[in-house]
Amino acid sequence: MIKTYQELITIPTYEERYQYLQCHSQIGLQTFGGHRHLNQVLYSSPEWRSFRRRVIIRDDGLDMAMADHPIYGSIIIHHINPITIEDVLNRNPMVFDMNNVVCVSELTHKAIHYGDLNLLPKDYVERKPGDTKLW
């Protein structure tokens, strides 16, 4: 099943978007990310930098393009449908398809790939005078 950004943004909650994006990767599984030299060539290219900038602007730097979920650290451009080494080498259009990517935080990216809901960023809890519990 091909997943899309257009479908993702119709999903109303953060948790449901996470479930939609989950890919349950396995450590050591052959993916594009495991080939460092190709990774560096693609992600340092002017074409990728321009594409990345457009994705961040489109998503307003929000985690999974979800309102009220700003990304405060590094923004990762996550391929909704994973790309392979062959996709990069053969210049498959899905590598630069705006409908195949979304901004995510580092923790969200790990949660998506490893299927661990506990990795998702936690909601900010404001401390108030008189609080008796530690964070």
Q: What digits encode the pLDDT tens for the residues 36-53?
A: 778 888 999 999 999 999
Residue 14: inside a domain: yes
pTM for this structure?
Answer: 0.82
Using a pLDDT cut of 70, give the percent of the chain over it: 84
Residues in the chain: 135
Residue 37 lies in a domain: yes
- Inside any domain, residue 112: yes
Helix (H, G, I), strand (E, B) or coil at 107: helix
Does residue 126 sit within a domain?
A: no
Q: How many domains is the chain built from?
A: 1
**Which domain does 74 fall in, by range?**
5-118
SS3 letters across the chain: CCCCHHHHCCCCCHHHHHHHHCCCCCCCCCCHHHCHHHHHHHHCCHHHHHHHHHHHHHHCCEHHHCCCCECCCCCEEEECCCCCHHHHHCCCHHHHCHHHEEEECHHHHHHHHHCCHHHCCCCCCCCCCCCCCCC
* Residue 125 within any structural domain of the chain: no
Is 132 within the bounds of a domain? no
Handedness of CA 52, 37, 114, 26 (dihedral sign): positive
What is the per-residue pLDDT across 7-26, written as a single tens digit (0 to 9) for each?
Answer: 999 999 999 999 999 986 65
